[in-house]
A = this chain, B = another copy of it.
Amino acid sequence: MSSVNETIANYIAAWNETDSARRRSIIERTWSADGSYLDAHREGQGHAAIDAMIAAAQQRIPGYRFRLCSGIEAHHDRVRFSWSAGGTETAPSFFRGTDFATFAEDGRFHTLTGFTDAAPATA
């Protein structure tokens, strides 16, 4: 059983982990087996598809680190939180998004939906 905070920390870590075996292991701790991710530009259902999706995003913006940039607001089996990436000398474009998720009974994500709060004009 994962806590809300652990699952979200794992989620952020998955986006930052470029070692494929470690990333896949983190993803398995983050989403249930039938878990899904969906935003305006990418989607994945199941661990393998989510892993491939994150790997592709990492190759598109190498060197970007994701971090939690809001409180974690949870009620019932739902949660909202925001993340940001970039805005640094080596990763100048600034990205920010807000994710809404539903939890499976074991505390891993069942569904996660991403919305964009900030993205560079060239993204």
Known contacts A80-B115, A115-B80; is-contact A39 B75 (Cβ 8 Å): yes
Residues of A within 8 A of B (CB): 38-40, 43, 73, 75-76, 78, 80, 98, 100, 113, 115-116
CA distance A75 to B41 in the complex (A): 9
CA distance A80 to B113 in the complex (A): 10
Is B115 a contact of A73 with CB atoms below 8 Å?
yes
With beta carbons under 8 angstroms apart, the residue of B39, B40, B76, B80 that contacts A38 is B76
Closest-CB distance, A115 to chain B (whole angstroms)? 5
Main secondary structure, interface of A, reads strand
Is A38 a contact of B115 with CB atoms below 8 Å?
no
Using Cβ atoms and an 8 Å threshold, which residues of chain B touch A98?
80
With beta carbons under 8 angstroms apart, the residue of B43, B75, B113 that contacts A100 is B113
Is A113 a contact of B38 with CB atoms below 8 Å?
no
